[in-house]
Amino acid sequence: MADKPDGWGLCKDCKWWQIEPDASVQDLTLGVCIEKQLQDYELRISGLGGCNRFQAGEPTFAAGASEAPPQMATDIH
């Protein structure tokens, strides 16, 4: 596998990933990306997703994060 570009990381390791309150951090867990520039896309994405807006940290938890379309709580920005 090629090296990851600088700044790229997985959703399951990213602080902008928001998942259901009772969800665990797994590859196939679905959540919503609440990164400021990506919020408008209402991006529902699994733990194996990733991008170069990655910020290392723990996911946040909010009800509705796995719905289609996902609901997001954005008061952490």
Per-residue CA distances from 58 to 1, 41, 43, 44, 69 (Å): 25, 22, 18, 17, 22
* Residue numbers 4-63 binding ligand SF4 by CB under 6 A: 9, 11, 14, 16-17, 33, 35, 38, 45, 49-51, 53-54
How far apart, in whole angstroms, are the C-alpha atoms of residue 38 and residue 36?
Answer: 6
Q: Which is nearer to ligand SF4, 33 or 62 (CB)?
A: 33
For ligand SF4, the binding residues (CB under 6 A) are 9, 11, 14, 16-17, 33, 35, 38, 45, 49-51, 53-54
